[in-house]
Each structure stands twice: as structure tokens, then as C-alpha cells.
Amino acid sequence: MSFVTDKTQADETNRSGNSATSAHDSVLRLSFNQDYTSLAMGTIKSYFLYTIAQENQTIENRNFEIRPFPNIHQLPYDNVRIIERLYASSLLAVVSDQAPRKLKVCHFKKGTEICSISFPNNIRSVKLNRLKLIVCLDESIYIYNMRDMKVVHMIRDVPVNPDGLCALSSDDKSQYLAYPGSSITGEIQIFDISNLKSGVIISAHDSPLVAMEFDGNGARIATASNKGTVIRIHSVTDGTRLFEFRRGIRRVATIYCFAFSPDSNFLAASSSTGTIHIFRLVTQKEKPTEAPVSWMGTFSRVLEDVAYYLPKQTSEVLTQERAFATVHHPSSETKTIIAITASTDALKLFVAGYDGIVHTYEINTRDGGECQLMNQYSLFQISSSDQTNTFHDGATRKYPPNLLRNETNAIVLTNNAQLADQTYNTAIEQDSFPPLPSPSLGGYDE
């Protein structure tokens, strides 16, 4: 779903030589990298890269700035439907609508392609970590070594998965892949990609899955079904249900994205309602032994006692945890992806919308409640002076002057710091890859 700006203002902007505002409806893909230090955006025209980092700041000045990212070469890719970056390295995996069955792995700083691999069907999703590259098709999944880009395993007969729903753990020691085990129910299949064997099967929901995400160390996985009312977290090793949260009761919603905090103590979920829910992952043993002396505390204890005697479904509704903190996104009809990063004294929530706007919030990890809006930025170039945009949803938003300048097609959310290219003992130089044939799939033209 895409939105355009108000026509009058867009025309005025275009006449002034700045067409970036009208590009808000061209966002095809947004994705954070594995540790939430980078944001990639695929558009009708090309792709864009953004680096996210907290500046060295005092408690009194906790803002983020947007500055150009140097030394990037654009490759001639149009209609970029899938784009994934390997941590802060120069390695990108790209799939274009022009060739939906072809995966291109490129070095964006050199502006060169490392390899190109064709598949028998359209590529639905791509996942990366330091050791493996995952390519998900409708009914099969390919696993590649990142070092030499050789296919090491193929998972066949995957339940029909047109959205390419899957999750890949980023931890080097806990190498797991998760994908739907059924197209009818919310079953999760865990696959051990280190030993290339199937792991536990988790019956997470009654309805088909729409979202899943591993935590940072690959020990837990969060899931949601197409109803979007209940979010569950399970152990990856034995399938034990660890947490259960209720996003809502009356209103069914589509969960867009999950994000764990770096310490795995919080989980955020964005949805089609426009509200981002943040849940605190506290076990019963970690909770205070005595509830506060208040009518709410008494009422909560009564509900727990009554729930024991009620039918299972009703009992679960009464005992499921609610959100610890929330964000009411200004563009409620815009699809969003989210990320949580840590600073010295707080957690920051990044909300990137398919309207091309990024909002940053501060999470109060002690008291919860409504999160404080810190900044909002346009991912497209707009004028250097303050500018108010009116969007299709009728909302008006004013953006500060410290926005993207016209140096490159990438920006940095940091304070002048140029982040070094991280290799992680992974081959990212073009010369490291010998010429590779496509996997023996019979040869398919694009």
C-alpha cells in the first residue's frame, strides 16, 4: 500500500526542482540489517542505504542527525523488491521485479556484482547472517555458505509460502532457521542450519502465521497469526511456550514486524492498527513478590483466581499480559518496520514507514506508557529549510532542516562518524569469489 503527497504541494515541489516528495509512493521494500545498525530501502528507481548510530551525546541533547553516507556506488537496479545488507559490510543481496527469479549479490561500495543466481520460481524472501544466506521460494528453501556462495542444502516440500515468511537467527553459535510448517495452522518448523537437520516443531497458533522473529542470541522466537490478537514467544530448542501477550481483543490486525531489544528483555510489534506495542519479557519469578496495594492489584488477583474455573479460551484472555509501552504512529494506514537500539540510559525505537518517513521514540523502560517522540526524518531529499508535508491520510507533519542533502543516495543517522566497513571474516571482496555457475535447476530464463 502506498500513499502520495497532496497534489498541490507535490506540484510546487516538483517545479522547484525537487521531486523527492512525490517519490513517497515508490517505496517497495524496507529492511533493517541483523543488528539494527542499517536500514535499506528498495524503490522503483533504485535502492538507498542508511546507517543508524547514536551520536556521542549528553542527557540534555539526545537527538539523532541525518548525514550522508560516503563512498557508495549505485548499481542499475530498478524496482528493487528485496534488499538485504550483511551487517555493516558492503555486501548486499538484491532482487528486482525485472528479474524476480534472480538473486544478485553485490558490493555496493565498488558498484560491482559478486554473483548472480537463478531459481526455478520467484524469490519471495532473502535472509543473511555471517555464515549463511537463505533464499525462500514458494515451496522450497535454499541454504548457501556466505564464504563461497555455494549451495549446501535445499529444503523441499515446504508448505505453500507466497509471502516468503521465514526467520534466520543472527547469532553465530545458535544457527537456526524458522519457517511455517503448515499453511492452515500456525505451526513453526525450526531447522538447524549448522548441522543441516530439522529441529523442533512448535504449534504456536491455531491460524496461519504472518510474522516471526528470533531474539538476538537465537534462543527464543516470537510469532503472530493472521488474527494478530495474540503474540507468543517459544523456546527454540524444545518448543516450550515462554510468554504470551495480547495485542487486542476486539480488533483483528495484521502484525507487520517484530523487534527484540538488544538484551532481549523487550519485544516490540507493529501492526495495521498503527499502534506499536512494546512488551516486557518478565517471568513470574522475576516479578515483584507482592502486588501493589490498590484496587487494580486486587482486581488482577481476582481475575487470576476466576480464570482457573473458566473455559480455556476465556481463561487465556483474562491472564494474557498486555503491552508495557505503546506508540501511536501518526500514519496509521502506512505499513511499518521497527527496530530497537540501546543507548547509555534508554532504549530507542525506530519506526520506518513505507511513506518514506522514519520516527524515533524513547522507551521508558522503568514506567512504560506512551513513548516519547524524539525525531522524525524523511528518507527522501526535501528542502534544507523546514518543510511541512500533507499526506494522503490528511495528516500534516513538519520536518527539521537537518535532513538528507544531495551528496549521495545514502544517509547516516549519526554525528559525522563514518562507520568502518565490517568484514566479520566473511568474504565481501569481489576477488574472493570465483566465477560460480547457477545451481543445477535446469536453466531458467528471466
3 state DSSP class of 122 = coil
- Count of CB atoms situated within 10 Å of the CB of 302: 11
Report if residue 337 sits inside a domain.
yes
As a whole number of angstroms, the distance between CA 393 and CA 5 comes to: 9
Burial class (CB in 10 A: 0-12, 13-18, 19+), 249: exposed
What single letter denotes the amino acid at residue 422? Q
- Reported pTM: 0.76
Contacts of 60 by beta carbon, 8 Å cutoff, 6+ apart: none
| Structure letter (DSSP) for residue 310 | S
The per-residue pLDDT for 320 is: 59
Report if residue 63 sits inside a domain.
no
| Beta carbons of 230 and 245 less than 8 angstroms apart | yes
Q: How, if at all, do strands 325-328 and 369-370 pair?
A: parallel
Report if residue 334 sits inside a domain.
yes
The per-residue pLDDT for 381 is: 53
Task: Give 363-412 pLDDT, tens digit per residue.
Answer: 999 999 999 998 888 887 532 233 343 333 344 444 333 333 222 334 44
Element (H, E) at 32: strand 27-32
3 state DSSP class of 313 = helix
The per-residue pLDDT for 25 is: 52
Report if residue 277 sits inside a domain.
yes
CA distances from 129 to 121, 360, 362, 426, 428 (A): 23, 26, 28, 10, 13
Q: Which three cell numbers stand for residue 403?
A: 535532513
Q: Which three cell numbers stand for residue 102?
A: 534472480
Domain that holds residue 277: 255-283+318-384
Report if residue 53 sits inside a domain.
no
The per-residue pLDDT for 131 is: 95
3 state DSSP class of 300 = helix
Dihedral sign for Cα atoms in the order 137, 142, 146, 149: negative
* Range list of β-strands (E), 16-71: 27-32, 38-43, 47-52, 66-68
Report if residue 33 sits inside a domain.
no
Q: How many domains does the chain have?
A: 1
- Half-sphere exposure of 146 toward its Cβ, with a 13 Å CA cutoff? 26
| Structure letter (DSSP) for residue 262 | T
Q: How far is CA 116 from the centre of its chain?
A: 25
The per-residue pLDDT for 12 is: 34
CA distances from 272 to 203, 269, 342 (A): 24, 10, 26
Report if residue 379 sits inside a domain.
yes
As a whole number of angstroms, the distance between CA 25 and CA 393 comes to: 13
Could you state, in chain order, the average pLDDT of each consecutive group of 10 residues for the chain (446 residues)? Answer: 28 37 69 92 87 51 45 77 93 94 92 92 97 97 94 95 96 94 96 95 96 96 94 97 84 90 96 94 61 46 45 44 89 90 85 91 93 87 36 40 32 38 41 40 34
Report if residue 128 sits inside a domain.
no
The per-residue pLDDT for 70 is: 54
- Half-sphere exposure of 306 toward its Cβ, with a 13 Å CA cutoff? 9
